[in-house]
Amino acid sequence: MGETMRIVLIQPPVEDFYTTSIRLQPIGLAYLKSAIQAHFPEVDVIIRDYHTGHGKCSIAWPKELNYLKPFYPFADRSPFSTFYHYYHFGASYQNIVRDVAQLNPDLVGISALFSAYAPQALHVAQILKAKLGVPVLIGGSHVSAVPQDVLNLPFVDFVIFGEGERPMVAFVDALLGNRRWHSVPNLGFKENGSLKFNRAQDNFPLNDLPFPDFSDLNRKNYPYGGRPLSFVVSSRSCPYRCSFCSVHQTFGQRFRLRSVENIMEELRLRYTQGYSAFDFEDDNLTFDRKRMRLLTQALQTDFARDDIRLMAMNGVAYFRLDDTLLTAMRHSGFQELNISLVSKNETLLRRLRRPYHFEKFEQVVNRANQLDMRVVSYQILGLPGDTLHSMLTTMIYQAQLPVTIGVSPFYYTPNLPIGVNDYMDKPYWVLGRLTSLGLSKHPAERETVYTLFILARMINFLKHLSGINQEVHLKELFESKETRAGKEYLGLLILERLLKEKTLFGFTGKEFKPLPKFQYPVFDSFMRQANFIKQPGKGVISLKGNSKK
């Protein structure tokens, strides 16, 4: 170890059919950097985001995902396309090794945030350990779920489970001093060939945490609507106990909030740094309505309405919203609303311990639409115990409201509270990604999830079809499709053929090819039961009489 200790904190690349780079800003690493340097200013901490800003390259499908090839058979260029190419998103492993070696760190810390992408984090750990021989520490949500599995790997020296700021500060203190690891909370380490795990302790109070240090991040790599975007975390954990959610594995059971003054101080700092879009990554931003009202007032005082753009892409609890709060959010810079319906099945929601209030949901959606807020409503497909009837009913419900439908096949991360029994015998990183099309080992159920996933894209296509300001029949849109161009024409043509030929076709760019895993009877059931599709705004598309008897 040199005179100055150097720690390199790494966000690794990911491998999947797709990525959402804007959702992977390494704010957790930025919190760790600021916490370490607040207590040990002599320590050099460097963040490397090897995911965002490094491009992508097509790679071979992992053999564990070959069962999906009948569902993703070719590169579809239609508006209803799913997936085909499998990618490595981020820096190559060779470049990562070369770059980190040049930094000459005394400690490497790696974020394993999602179980689906843990193999990439672990591979980075393995190659850096082999090349550099320095201690390797891994943290993140995947570690919090399975700390023993990660620490048991020969190239991992330490793990931190749960929130990382207090443990990381204590760990660096021990690393600089006596190396008595037993005093470091939330730490897993190895001693005489055994795995040791210290007890967890509460993190520092949120208002006492220094703001995340973004100095190593290029803000141009995180754009949203042409604006540099900054994540903001104004609370941690969640007061609810939905059994399909893993938030409490990392953030504990106690819901904690930052003060409005503390949040605004961070936002003002970020604004001076050039950020003007802010995404609140809270798991329950609006739970404390009084705090949220005060926050919107402060935002309106400190920023002109067009100066900033606000969002909460993690979603907000619709049952904690009302007309007054929605109006205040709109006036303070929120242009969109992400809300999670999950399902319309009350029996299922009660079993999942998920709060619900459908009348409130409709009130929130309609008020947000009046305020010209784009509403995204989230539905989970393939939850254990759910049925086709239930999932289709939920989708029809959303089709008839002015929302964009955000569907996600249910994916399982290790040790979730929800009970999952009859599922595929696949590795955790397969079960933990939505592209796996649910957990069921029964092909028919997977085909149902696949079909509903595409059906949601069809509904959204019609919801956002341009030039509709009144009620129009779907047949009229088919008849006038020649007046449209690009994907609007292509999508209407494919839907028209689907109704006539009872087969869904994709488009390669040169020819139409059938997608045999799409279940026409499911589509037909939707067309028979959904009388109309409501667009955001005033447009309505009538479906009456379109289903073939």
pLDDT tens profile 385-405 = 899 999 999 999 999 999 999
Whether 549 maps to a domain, the answer reads no
Smallest Cα–Cα separation from 465: which of 519, 415, 535, 517?
535
- Same domain? For 374 and 306 the reply is yes
Cα three-residue angle 274-276-277, rounded to 5 degrees: 135
In this structure, the answer to whether residues 255 and 310 fall within a common structural domain is: yes
pLDDT in tens, 497-531: 999 999 999 999 999 999 999 999 999 999 999 99
Whether the predicted pLDDT of 287 surpasses 60: yes
Rounded to whole angstroms, the Cα distance separating 112 from 138 reads 7
The residue segments making up the domain with residue 434 are 226-457
Is the residue at 75 inside a domain?
no
112 falls within a domain: yes
C-beta atoms surrounding 155 within 10 Å: 15
Least confident of 133-137, 195-199, 375-379, 411-415: 411-415
3 state SS of 481: helix
What angle is formed at CA 34 by the lines to CA 31 and CA 35, rounded to 5 degrees? 85
Q: Which residues pair with 110 in a beta bridge?
A: 10, 138
Phi and psi dihedrals of 481, rounded to 5? -65, -25
Residue 77 lies in a domain: no
Is pLDDT of 496 > 50? yes
In 3D, which of 223, 206, 297, 217 has the Cα closest to residue 258?
A: 206
pLDDT, tens digit (0-9, with 9 covering 90-100), for 50-63: 999 999 999 999 99
Asked whether residue 70 is domain-assigned, the answer is no
> Are 381 and 391 a contacting pair, CB within 8 Å?
yes
Is the same domain home to 307 and 186?
A: no
Structure tokens of 243?
């059994």
The answer to whether residues 33 and 103 belong to one domain is yes
Same structural domain, 15 and 152: yes
pLDDT at 442 over 80: no
Asked if residue 209 belongs to a domain, the reply is no
CA angle 507, 445, 345 (to 5 degrees): 110
**Is this prediction's pTM over 0.75?**
yes
The domain boundary residue, chosen from 428, 457, 486? 457
